[in-house]
Amino acid sequence: MSGAQDSGARGFPAFAARRGGRARGQSFWARQWVAAVEDVWPEEEPLKKGRSFARSGRIGPITVSPGRVAAQVYGGEETYTTQLTLTELDADEWDLLWEKTADRPAETEAVLAGELPEDLLEAVEDARVRMLPGYGDLDADCDCDAFDHPCPHATALGYQLSWLLDEDPWLLPLIRGRGAGEAVEELKSVLLLRAMAGDEEDGEEYGEEEYEGEYDEETEGEDEEAGGERDGAAAQDPDAHALQRAAYARPDAGPPALPPLPEPPAVPDEPLTGIEADPLDRLAADAALRARELLAHLHGFGAAPPEPLDAWQDTVRLAATHPDPRVADRLRAGCGRPGELDRAAAAWRTGGRTALEVLERSWAPSEQQTARARTALAAGWEDEELPPISIDGNHWTLTGRGLQLRLGRDGRWYPYRERDTAWWPAGTPSTDPAEALAELTGLTDDDTA
């Protein structure tokens, strides 16, 4: 049985980084999905890493299509393609599911109204088909070459899909091969066939055998009386096929959502006009950072407006923002601090002068700031055990793991990773320590290489 053409791919924008709270969806179908995924992949460590990575904001737009959920994930300087694959139901399995659904008036009414009721799961079980993932039909693929299978990127994508199911549970049937419009049309077809079969049975009940005799004027009145009785019986039960009539009286669900727009065309390597545009780009970026610093001062961070850059800060800025690697080489040779420039430029790229200050200078936050950070971490770390942390001024170090958070004077938390006995910036800062810690613990060595 064929349905409407609405089972194509659907695209969804990337989720922003979340607080270090719940990584599991909260609706009925989202919870069912997560429980099934965690049952198929019971190893806790990949799931824990996946929950942290799902909250990090480093998963790109998600595409959901029959048999496949895919996204680009960003690990440091690398970008990986991650996808989950599930087995699509065949036409016979869908037919059986709608037959079982049609046996349930309440669920039928809900599906025809465009809803996916919780009790539909019972019809799924009656039909003995799989709507939720199970052993042997859920698989993950990612080109990150991580040792774990599934990798944290794949499990993170599974958790983010539960967030999408919170908003649209029809994505679950779509993964199995049927969009919402197709499902409604196929269920209507099952109801129509049942109605037609019921009419045929009624015709046999009052069929030819009653009229096999030769026409006789004396029996004409009896026939009319019998026909009147039959008409009266039908009139006494006007709702015999009310469900079918209601199904076909519903308005058309409309066309499916448009697929996402294609990526913009690539910028040519050489300027078309022969005029180099990079200086303007750098000036605009520097002006934006300067504006952010002034805004931070207006909001109470810092006792005085930021001073103009000194020679070292300007050297770091140029090394961090100039696209020509030869510029960094010349700066490294002439700055007098060649061993520090690369790390300083990496810090600048995460937050400008404030991030450079976080790298080079420590300070002592107030007891109130430290207490608020402890409370935020305790409240935002879901149901997982908070890693042991040692605190030294504005440096919060995860004991024995080579990971560290640094609180900047701008109120943001900057992630760091230990490399070659030195602390290196490991990502973008966050105003929420729980969010920053979740992202930091979700990193792999490749993410910051």
Q: What would the DSSP string read from start to end of 398-409?
A: ETTTTEEEEE-T
Specify whether 318 is located in the same domain as 420. Answer: no
Range of the domain at 104: 10-184
Residue 349 lies in a domain: yes
Specify whether 332 is located in the same domain as 406. Answer: no
Residue 259 lies in a domain: no
Specify whether 350 is located in the same domain as 387. Answer: no
Domain boundary among 127, 156, 184: 184
Which pLDDT tens digit goes with each residue over 37-47?
999 998 888 88
Which tokens hold the place of 363? 């300070």
Per-residue pLDDT, 78: 82
Per-residue pLDDT, 444: 45
Per-residue pLDDT, 36: 92
pLDDT(359) > 90: yes
Which tokens hold the place of 367? 């007891």
Residue 139 lies in a domain: yes
Which tokens hold the place of 390? 């040692």
Specify whether 33 is located in the same domain as 152. Answer: yes
pLDDT(331) > 50: yes
Per-residue pLDDT, 384: 59
pLDDT level of residue 263 (50, 70, 90 thresholds): low
pLDDT level of residue 84 (50, 70, 90 thresholds): very high
Per-residue pLDDT, 409: 87
pTM of the model: 0.49
Per-residue pLDDT, 53: 87
Which pLDDT tens digit goes with each residue over 10-54?
889 988 887 666 788 889 999 999 999 999 998 888 888 888 888
Specify whether 24 is located in the same domain as 140. Answer: yes
Tell me the CA distances in angstroms from 425 to 338, 349, 383, one per residue in order: 18, 9, 28
Which pLDDT tens digit goes with each residue over 108-159?
998 998 889 888 888 888 888 888 998 888 999 998 877 778 888 999 999 9
Specify whether 355 is located in the same domain as 431. Answer: no
- The helix (run of H) or strand (run of E) holding residue 339 is helix 338-360
Specify whether 101 is located in the same domain as 163. Answer: yes
Alpha helices (H) along 206-324: 217-236, 242-249, 278-298, 311-321
Domain boundary among 161, 184, 207: 184
Per-residue pLDDT, 171: 93
Quote the number of domains for the chain.
Answer: 3
CA pair distance 233, 227, nearest whole angstrom: 10
Specify whether 326 is located in the same domain as 377. Answer: no
Residue 265 lies in a domain: no
Specify whether 55 is located in the same domain as 112. Answer: yes
Specify whether 349 is located in the same domain as 410. Answer: no
Burial 129-151 (b: 16+ CB within 10 A, else e): bbbbbeeeebebebebebebebb
Which pLDDT tens digit goes with each residue over 183-241?
899 888 888 888 887 655 555 554 444 444 444 445 445 545 544 544 444 445 555 56
Specify whether 37 is located in the same domain as 124. Answer: yes
Specify whether 24 is located in the same domain as 172. Answer: yes
